[in-house]
Chain A
Amino acid sequence: MAGTETAHTDEPSPAGEDLAGLEAGLDALDTRTTTRPPLGRMLRRKVLPPLIAVLLVLALWQGAFALELKPDYQLPSPLMVWDALAEEWYKGTILGVIWQSVSRGALGFLVALAFGTPLGLLVARVRPVRAAIGPILSGLQSLPSVAWVPAAIIWFGLTDATIYAVVLLGAVPSIANGLVAGVDRIDPLHLRAGTVLGATGLRGIRHVLLPAALPGYVSGLKQGWAFSWRSLMAAELIATSPELGSGLGRLLDTGRSYQDMPLVLGAILLILLVGIGIELLLFAPVERRVLRHRGLLH
């Protein structure tokens, strides 16, 4: 055997090239390539089934109408609902009504985001805070936010503040809880790796904690939006006053007060469509992107 001193020399180049070749071979054999399925098949698999379901529901509805299970004023046909919506459209007010609600929902959601995010971080990372308000926060999620409407009216009267208070009370807990769940699901190894790399304190939150918690956070945001929208409709439906302008909830209430079933169903459909539309156009792509980048989507 040679002495204890080991010479630090580069390996002879043939061996080095051999290793490079071997490595390249292993890499090629082991690499998984992820390809996205063609658009046509995606459409057939993702869009066709819900379309068929909707058509089926419409057919059943039309059938029930044709059999006259209920009088017209209680069960209008799909076409009558369509006409009611068309009438609102020709009045030229419907877009304003939708915009009123959507802008309120969006603003309420953004404010809820600004409150819910630090709150969630605090609950997730500070043990006493979690022990104190963690259970309350998750308990609040099961409280229907419509329950806050009377209290908010007493506090703020029939003003925009009432509506935003209800939206916030509905959305903040679910955004915060989503973030807590996201932080809880972080692989501890990533936190250790972050510490080793020098990501501590605020830099740790910015570069490791938040991105690692992103999947849970995004699903919390999605749920937060759903809660915002629901709370908003509850608030608009109950707190009606000329100063509050006319949102979709108000439209629904107008339909109820005139016993106008086509308008009521039309308003319900619009509320549903806006909720689904924002989820599909805004949150679903973000969530898919986050999951795909991490290899969590197939």
Chain B
Amino acid sequence: MTAPAATDPSTAAAAAATEETTRTSESTAPAARLSHVSKSFGPPGARQHVLDDITLDVAPGEFVTLLGASGCGKSTLLNLVAGLDSPTGGSVHVPGGRPALMFQEHALFPWLTAGRNIELALKLRGVPKAERRPRAEELLELVRLQGAHRKRVHELSGGMRQRVALARALAQDSRLLLMDEPFAALDAITRDVLHEELSRVWSGTGLSVLFVTHNVREAVRLAQRVVLLSSRPGRIARQWEIAIPQPRRIEDGDVAALSAEITEQLRGEIRRHGRH
């Protein structure tokens, strides 16, 4: 396995034909490249194959959602890309360095204020002290939480916490943002608002996003490409390029139609498991 590290020229060369300067290599190298990744857990004899032969590129600036029923290993896949776990087979390559990761729970540190959480992320990536406070204010403003710097985590609502978590993830200044069902625990109205917020932030920053969800409409609402995973083991079952122009809304006809198609496919995948 290739550890997420600085741009690896050999892999980048395999992707693009040639590269004269680092600049072109950066613009053509994928934000994440997974080649024939497999992952199994447990002792030999009782091994559980969670992921099998996953090959997936996330292009720079691309928004990809990974969709699947439970047991498809989508969170495991995200952990592999985040470098929190290593694959059993195949390779995971993240040229831009350590990716940012947002969890289903906000995972903000309750001993710090909202602003300090962001400043810690800045500090850990080596931003000088004098620049941290203004940068944190900027990021809070980006998620429309200006003035929340001194708020304690428990004083914020669920939606506000996820926005601070988004700001903290953005503070890592990574080219790749991984999101593990970040809005699953929110109420429908708040989730809807955060979809708009995320779309807005994404189009403003040119980030690559790999977004895991089990919510088909959410996947279609947000992504440029939806990747459907089958379950046990997780394999790529099908992919859809989504051409519906942004800004989209979850109740749009196009979104609903494509969601229906993908849902049908997903149900088919789930039914297969009932047959034996």
Q: Which residues of A contact B (CB under 8 A)?
A: 1-4, 6-11, 15-16, 19-20, 22-24, 26-27, 29-34, 189-190, 192-193, 195-199, 203, 207-208, 211-212, 214, 290, 293-295
* Distance in Å: Cβ of B116 to nearest Cβ of chain A: 11
* Distance in Å: Cβ of A188 to nearest Cβ of chain B: 10
Given A6-B224, A23-B144, A192-B84, A211-B245 contact (CB < 8 Å): no
Contact B103 A189 (CB under 8 A): yes
Contact A207 B254 (CB under 8 A): no
Given A1-B243, A211-B109, A203-B124 contact (CB < 8 Å): yes
Q: Is there a chain A Cβ closer than 8 Å to B139's Cβ?
A: no
Which of A8, A211, A290, A294 is the one whose CB lies under 8 Å from B61? A8
Closest residue on chain A to residue B200 by CB atoms? A11
Bound CA span A294–B111, Å: 6
Contact A31 B156 (CB under 8 A): yes
Q: Is there a chain A Cβ closer than 8 Å to B100's Cβ?
A: yes
On chain B, the residues within 8 Å of A196 by CB distance are: 82, 84, 98, 100-101, 172
Render B90-112 as a binary contact track against A, CB cut-off 8 A, 1 for contact: 00000000101101010111111
Given contacts A22-B193, A293-B110, 4 further A-B contacts (CB under 8 A): A29-B157, A192-B107, A193-B108, A197-B124
B157-216 contacts to A (CB < 8 Å): 157-160, 168, 172, 189-190, 193, 196-197, 199-200, 203-204, 206
Bound CA span A199–B98, Å: 12
Contact A293 B200 (CB under 8 A): no
Q: Across the A-B interface, give the 6 residue pairs with the lowest CB-CB distance, nearest first.
A: A295-B154, A30-B157, A193-B107, A294-B110, A198-B124, A8-B203
Closest residue on chain A to residue B178 by CB atoms? A196
Bound CA span A4–B246, Å: 12
* A-B residue pairs in contact (CB < 8 Å), sample of 7: A6-B224, A7-B246, A19-B200, A30-B158, A192-B103, A197-B124, A211-B112
On chain B, the residues within 8 Å of A295 by CB distance are: 110, 152-155
Bound CA span A8–B124, Å: 30
Contact A7 B241 (CB under 8 A): no
On chain B, the residues within 8 Å of A22 by CB distance are: 193
Contact B193 A207 (CB under 8 A): no
Contact A193 B111 (CB under 8 A): no
Bound CA span A34–B153, Å: 12
Q: Is there a chain A Cβ closer than 8 Å to B270's Cβ?
A: no
